[in-house]
Amino acid sequence: MRALKSKYDILRQKIYIVIYGSNTFAGKLFDLTLLGVILLSVLLVMLESVQQLDAKYHTFLIVSEWIITVTFTLEYILRIICNRKPLNYIFSFYGIVDFISILPMYLSFFIPGSRMLSVIRALRLLRLFGILDLVHFTGQESQLKLAIKASRTKIIVFVYFVLIVSILLGAIMYVVEGKESGFTSIPVSIYWCIVTLTTVGYGDIAPATTLGQIIASCIMIMGYGIIAVPTGIVTAEFANAKRNQSKDDSSRTCPSCTSIIYNEEARFCHHCGEKLTND
Amino acid sequence: MRALKSKYDILRQKIYIVIYGSNTFAGKLFDLTLLGVILLSVLLVMLESVQQLDAKYHTFLIVSEWIITVTFTLEYILRIICNRKPLNYIFSFYGIVDFISILPMYLSFFIPGSRMLSVIRALRLLRLFGILDLVHFTGQESQLKLAIKASRTKIIVFVYFVLIVSILLGAIMYVVEGKESGFTSIPVSIYWCIVTLTTVGYGDIAPATTLGQIIASCIMIMGYGIIAVPTGIVTAEFANAKRNQSKDDSSRTCPSCTSIIYNEEARFCHHCGEKLTND
Amino acid sequence: MRALKSKYDILRQKIYIVIYGSNTFAGKLFDLTLLGVILLSVLLVMLESVQQLDAKYHTFLIVSEWIITVTFTLEYILRIICNRKPLNYIFSFYGIVDFISILPMYLSFFIPGSRMLSVIRALRLLRLFGILDLVHFTGQESQLKLAIKASRTKIIVFVYFVLIVSILLGAIMYVVEGKESGFTSIPVSIYWCIVTLTTVGYGDIAPATTLGQIIASCIMIMGYGIIAVPTGIVTAEFANAKRNQSKDDSSRTCPSCTSIIYNEEARFCHHCGEKLTND
Amino acid sequence: MRALKSKYDILRQKIYIVIYGSNTFAGKLFDLTLLGVILLSVLLVMLESVQQLDAKYHTFLIVSEWIITVTFTLEYILRIICNRKPLNYIFSFYGIVDFISILPMYLSFFIPGSRMLSVIRALRLLRLFGILDLVHFTGQESQLKLAIKASRTKIIVFVYFVLIVSILLGAIMYVVEGKESGFTSIPVSIYWCIVTLTTVGYGDIAPATTLGQIIASCIMIMGYGIIAVPTGIVTAEFANAKRNQSKDDSSRTCPSCTSIIYNEEARFCHHCGEKLTND
């Protein structure tokens, strides 16, 4: 009985390494095939939404999608079983994503349209970063994250400003332009204002009156200057992160006390006063 | 009589703390509810501008808007009464905004369309910054302000250039393209030119002739390079502000040798090994 | 005779100071009025191009424009007469601009449409920089110029690349999309490609086939990355210019030899070895 | 026999210098004329694609294009013959480009449409960099390359993120907007999403429902922030490259004290006053 138990444990161990690990050959293989299947399933959902294709290959698409869903379900169950702390996985980001990406197909019994939502599987593609050279990429990622995180508050403040401005300008354009040229309501005008400030400019709504065009021109030139602000913020943060990083690279450690010395011209430890040797 | 007076003073004091302060619980509550009401009122005006909604809920919208306006009026009066220096408030930015945001409703008796202008209340949403963690946000703000202020002149010079360029290019396009492809007059061509330079590109006006398209291509590539300039300016200022800030935060001079110490945790001069006093 | 001559000389002197100088009251007044007239004349040409306005006020516009032209002509003659070295003025940037901005009206006798070209007067508005606080603005300008000049070569290399890419992608899109969706010829496709790469996106021409849309998406994401390059170049140059400038600010001069010391930590002159005092 | 051989060798030598070299007069002339011919041939293909021109000058275009193709073929053969290591050339970037740019014309016997592909000759225009002052331009190029290469990984990570986001948002918009407003399938929605995120905004597809417009607004503001990221990355890399370059150009270490000297004109250590030897 116990032998069997231990056997089971060993098996579970093995599966765990294959599924979660990516440094063994089997693990890498598993991860890559999984990634392939995810990509495939996302493509399937996308193609299914194309009328003429769906008309032709409906049954094929449905069947293959069901096969994939079942595979994912099994994988999900395996992940839970072979994990010593299943809850850690279930309530981790990927755990939730994995769960949500199976759900829609089963929901589609009750809610017809919901099958489309299985596109959420695309999020599983983020696993790629887990598979590729971790250190290197996370290095890149972390730097991205750092800079983005550092500039988050500023960006929010900025967006908040932009929104208030959009509301005001939207209302003004609504009053100026009136209905006939597409500014049918203030919300629509605000939508137009955002479309313009972000320099997207669909052209589905465009000012027709002279005054409207003058105001629009001002808004564009504003948006022109405004687009510089978030870029400026993020760039400054990036440059900052970079500088700090390169600082760390050129840093030494004091031989006596272990404090780090950033200043490459330093001749004495700033902490214990120990004489340093520059070599 | 005097007792009453003092009572009245105390009451006013209390109200003042609630309305203007935001560090007491009552104050915070008041500010947040106020913000909620402002947001609500802005939404109301926006919804009112939507035909079908206005048709359905006209009376409801009007009534609720009147209620809000009256509330704001009372608040405005209270702000004036309970303030020891009412004029300071009345002629402050928020004072004026508060006043203007009440006005339109009352004006709507005489000028029908003017009610839409009460969207200006959106400006009151800026109060949010006053409510949130002041130090932190103003820190962010001030840095934004600093960088923007520093790059203001440059931006103005730049915009002035762009406008002159737009006028010239607009006139050229007007001559080249002529009426049938939407370039009905020089002002319109200038409008088109700004739409293009800012990379908004509505497409309501677009060159049809070959020569026109060639010129347009040049303008776009120009605009491409041009968009880099304000971004460059702002970014440089940001980076600069950042560098200075981080420098100023931590820099002393060694008493013995005159070398500057940036590391504020330094206990010894990194150069002559002199003991430093952290004060 | 000579007395008269000298009188004439004095008068010419006076006129010279008024016209060319801008530090005397008369000079400033003259410059500002001139600027006003230029602005007015530009507006007139612009308005004239608006059909309905031209229909109404044709004679008024023509007459006022002739008045302005004559005024400018007189000014031009005066500038030549009162200048000791007329040729310097005539062949200077402003001299040529001034001449060209008079020409079109006189040409309009022979070439009807040419009157529109008097919009070139807009270039005279650049005089503003001459009038405003010179030091300050030229400071700004020079920094702009410096950064732009420094990044010129890089930008040209870059634009050359972009053009070659556009030609190739344009041809591909022409082959892929074909005529019905607006890609009527390779030049047009190239035009479309530039419109897309610069993120202007008029939408007068847009891919209709699936393959076309896929290629377009790639082009956009490319353009997305590409737009970063010129910005990066210019910004880096700006930051560089800024750093150098701030260096100059924090520089000292050696008391013994007059060489400039940038390093604020320097205790000895890097040139003559003189001991420096940090105060 | 041998004399003839050596003669032939000398001739080949001469030709080699003319074709491959660009520092002799003959070489420069050859390169420039070649460049001219390439430009001409690209223009010819472009013009040929314009219906009305092709109708008029069909024979002329065909003939001249054949002449050019033959010329290029001869040049290609010459390049191979006169080169001591032909394979090095044949499998070099330019070798392949040269070959491909001849191919389409000969293929056009079998595949009619393929003649258009001879636009690929545009790639030969890159030779310009080889002709112009090498040191200077490659300097510029290398810096461009360096910065772009350094930010490559980050950009890829970033684009991968953007694509995943586009898939999700595309699917959502497809579900929200439905068919009537152009979102006919998920791939199309993704296409629209990329068009929006990159701020291109054709307007061939635009949200019509209120919810759709709200989501679109969010996407735009996102794209607004997102566009800042690649710019930030590239700029930071540029600035970094610049800083390092200018640092490396001028930095020595003082022999007596270990302080680093950046100023390459320094004759004395800025710190200990030690005499420095410039070698």
pLDDT tens digits, B104-122: 888 888 877 677 778 888 8
Q: How confident is the model at residue D159 (pLDDT cuts 50, 70, 90)?
A: confident
Range from A264-268, B6-10, C67-71, D189-193 carrying the lowest mean pLDDT = A264-268
Residue B277's pLDDT is 62
Residue B27 belongs to a domain = yes
Judge contact between B260 and B252, C-beta under 8 A: yes
Encoded tokens for A88: 């850690």
Same domain, D152 and D103: no
Same domain, A32 and A102: yes
Chain B residues 68-127 with a CB less than 8 Å from chain C: none
Residue C193's pLDDT is 93
Q: B45: exposed, middle or buried (C-beta count within 10 Å: 0-12, 13-18, 19+)?
A: buried
D182 touches chain B (CB under 8 A): no
Same domain, B148 and B120: no
Q: How confident is the model at residue B135 (pLDDT cuts 50, 70, 90)?
A: very low
**CB pair distance less than 8 Å for C232 and D227:** no
- Token pair 């990570």 in the structure block, residue: D157
Rounded to whole angstroms, the Cα distance separating D112 from C8 reads 81
Q: D229: exposed, middle or buried (C-beta count within 10 Å: 0-12, 13-18, 19+)?
A: buried
Q: How confident is the model at residue C259 (pLDDT cuts 50, 70, 90)?
A: low
Residue B277 belongs to a domain = no
Virtual torsion, Cα A53, A58, A64, A69, nearest 10 deg: 100
Inform me whether the pLDDT recorded for C130 exceeds 70: no
Judge contact between C231 and A231, C-beta under 8 A: yes
E strand segments, C157-208: none
Same domain, B48 and B94: yes
What's the gap in Å between the CA of B17 and the closest CA on chain A? Answer: 27
On chain A, the residues whose CB falls within 8 A of the CB of D257 are: 267
* Summary count for chain D: helices (H), strands (E): 10, 2
Q: What global pTM score does this model have?
A: 0.83
Please say whether the dihedral angle defined by the alpha carbons of residues B179, B183, B184 and B186, taken in this order, is positive or negative. Answer: negative
Better-predicted residue by pLDDT, A185 or D248: A185
Give the mean model confidence (pLDDT) for residues B9-31. 84
Amino acid identity, residue C121?
R
Residue D146's pLDDT is 72
Residue A125's pLDDT is 85
Inform me whether the pLDDT recorded for D251 exceeds 60: no
Same domain, B99 and B160: no
What's the gap in Å between the CA of B163 and the closest CA on chain C? Answer: 9
Residue D277 belongs to a domain = no
pLDDT tens column, B56-81: 888 998 899 899 999 999 999 999 98
If one counts every other C-beta atom within 10 angstroms of the C-beta of residue D73, the result is 15
Range from A37-51, B197-211, D142-156 carrying the lowest mean pLDDT = D142-156
Rounded to whole angstroms, the Cα distance separating B9 from B14 reads 9
Q: How confident is the model at residue B134 (pLDDT cuts 50, 70, 90)?
A: very low
E strand segments, chain A: 252-253, 260-261
Judge contact between C182 and C206, C-beta under 8 A: yes
Better-predicted residue by pLDDT, B2 or D167: D167
Rounded to whole angstroms, the Cα distance separating B154 from B149 reads 10
Chain D residues 234-263 with a CB less than 8 Å from chain C: 234-235, 237-239, 241-242, 261-263
Angstrom CA distances, A51 to A55, A58, C177, D188, stand at 6, 10, 21, 12
Q: Which chains touch D (3 or more CB pairs under 8 A)?
A: A, B, C
pLDDT tens column, A20-30: 877 788 888 88
Nearest Cα to Cα of residue D76 among D49, D105, D101, D107:
D101
Same domain, B64 and B95: yes
Rounded to whole angstroms, the Cα distance separating D168 from D149 reads 29
Give the mean model confidence (pLDDT) for residues C59-65. 90
Give the mean model confidence (pLDDT) for residues D214-235. 82
Rounded to whole angstroms, the Cα distance separating B123 from B97 reads 7
pLDDT tens column, C65-121: 899 999 999 999 999 988 888 888 899 888 898 998 888 888 888 877 677 778 888
**CB pair distance less than 8 Å for A210 and B187:** yes
Domain containing C12 — which CATH number? Answer: 1.20.120.350
Same domain, A12 and A126: yes
On chain C, the residues whose CB falls within 8 A of the CB of A200 are: 201
* Summary count for chain B: helices (H), strands (E): 9, 2
Range from B68-72, B162-166, C256-260 carrying the lowest mean pLDDT = C256-260
Residues of chain D above pLDDT 90, percent: 13
D232 touches chain A (CB under 8 A): yes
Judge contact between D146 and D126, C-beta under 8 A: no
Buried-state track A111-140, b at ≥16 Cβ within 10 A, e below 16? eeebbbbbbbbbbbbebbbebeeeeebeeb
Nearest Cα to Cα of residue A183 among A211, A163, A212, A161:
A212
ipTM: 0.80
Residue D69 three-state SS: helix
Q: Which chains touch A (3 or more CB pairs under 8 A)?
A: B, C, D
Per the structure, how many domains does chain C have? Answer: 2
Rounded to whole angstroms, the Cα distance separating C271 from D175 reads 73
A231 touches chain D (CB under 8 A): yes
Same domain, C11 and C89: yes
Out of A102, A133, A164, a domain closes at A133
Same domain, D216 and D184: yes
Same domain, D66 and D120: yes
Encoded tokens for B73: 């009026």
Which residues form the domain of D160? 144-247
Residue A159's pLDDT is 82
Out of D103, D133, D163, a domain closes at D133
What's the gap in Å between the CA of C266 and the closest CA on chain A? Answer: 12
Q: How confident is the model at residue A253 (pLDDT cuts 50, 70, 90)?
A: low
pLDDT tens column, A89-119: 899 888 898 998 888 888 888 877 677 778 8
Judge contact between C127 and C94, C-beta under 8 A: yes
Please say whether the dihedral angle defined by the alpha carbons of residues A112, A116, A120 and A121, taken in this order, is positive or negative. Answer: positive
Angstrom CA distances, C16 to A48, B17, C31, C80, C84, stand at 80, 66, 12, 10, 9
**CB pair distance less than 8 Å for B242 and A236:** yes
Better-predicted residue by pLDDT, C271 or C19: C19
Give the mean model confidence (pLDDT) for residues B192-208. 89
**CB pair distance less than 8 Å for C199 and A203:** no
Better-predicted residue by pLDDT, A207 or D180: A207
Q: Three-state secondary structure along D221-253?
A: HHHHHHCHHHHHHHHHHHHHHHHHHHHHHCCEE
Give the mean model confidence (pLDDT) for residues D106-114. 79
Residue C139 belongs to a domain = no
Out of D133, D165, D199, a domain closes at D133
pLDDT tens column, B240-259: 776 666 555 545 566 666 56
**CB pair distance less than 8 Å for C203 and A202:** yes
Residue A249's pLDDT is 55
Residue C152's pLDDT is 76
Inform me whether the pLDDT recorded for A250 exceeds 60: no
B230 touches chain C (CB under 8 A): no
Range from A35-49, B70-84, C87-101, D237-251 carrying the lowest mean pLDDT = D237-251
Give the mean model confidence (pLDDT) for residues A147-159. 75
pLDDT tens column, B41-58: 889 888 888 888 888 888
Rounded to whole angstroms, the Cα distance separating C124 from C71 reads 14
Domain containing A200 — which CATH number? Answer: 1.10.287.70
Same domain, C124 and C149: no
Residue D270 phi, psi (nearest 5): -65, -10
Range from A64-73, A263-272, B199-208, D158-167 carrying the lowest mean pLDDT = A263-272
Range from A179-193, C4-18, C225-239 carrying the lowest mean pLDDT = C225-239
Nearest Cα to Cα of residue B127 among B81, B103, B94, B102:
B94
Nearest to B45 among A186, A220, A236 (CB): A186
Residue B76 belongs to a domain = yes
pLDDT tens column, D94-103: 889 889 888 8
Residue B173 belongs to a domain = yes
Residue B230 belongs to a domain = yes
Same domain, C112 and C184: no
What's the gap in Å between the CA of A43 and the closest CA on chain C? Answer: 14
Residue C267 belongs to a domain = no
Residue B279's pLDDT is 45
